[in-house]
Amino acid sequence: MTSHNKRFLMNKTILEVSNVTKNVSSPEGELTIVNDISLSLEEGVFASILGPSGSGKTTLLAIMAGLDLPSRGSVKLFDKEITNLNEDKRAQIRSKDVGFVFQSFHLLPRLSALDNVMMPLEILGAKDAKERALKALDEVGLSKRTGHVPHQLSGGEKQRVAIARAMVKNPSILFADEPTGNLDQSSTDNILELLLGINQQTKTTLVVVTHDHSLAERSDVVFELQEGKLKC
**pLDDT tens across 12-59, in order?**
999 999 999 999 998 888 999 999 999 999 999 999 999 988 899 999
**Quick check: 226 and 55 in contact, CB under 8 A?**
yes
| Beta carbons of 6 and 199 less than 8 angstroms apart | no
| Residue ranges of domains in the chain | 44-67+96-230
Closest CA to 11 of 44, 47, 46: 44
Confidence (pLDDT) at 28: 85
Q: How far apart are CA 121 and CA 127, in angstroms?
A: 8
pLDDT at 68 over 60: yes
Q: Can you tell me the mean pLDDT for 105-109? A: 92
**Residue 1: what pLDDT?**
54
**Residue 5 pLDDT exceeds 70:** no
Which of the two residues, 11 and 131, has the higher pLDDT score? 131
> Residue 134 pLDDT > 60, yes or no?
yes
Confirm if 98 and 171 have CB atoms less than 8 A apart. Answer: yes
Whether the model clears a pTM of 0.85, i.e. scores above it, the answer is yes
**Tens-digit pLDDT profile for residues 202-221:** 899 999 998 888 888 889 99
Res. 6 pLDDT band, cuts 50 70 90: very low
Element spanning 176, H or E = strand 173-177
Share of the chain above pLDDT 90, in %: 69
CATH entry 3.40.50.300 includes domain 44-67+96-230: yes
* Residues 193/33, Cβ–Cβ less than 8 Å: no
The predicted pLDDT at position 232 comes to: 66
Average pLDDT over residues 135-162: 95
Q: What is the mean pLDDT of the chain?
A: 90
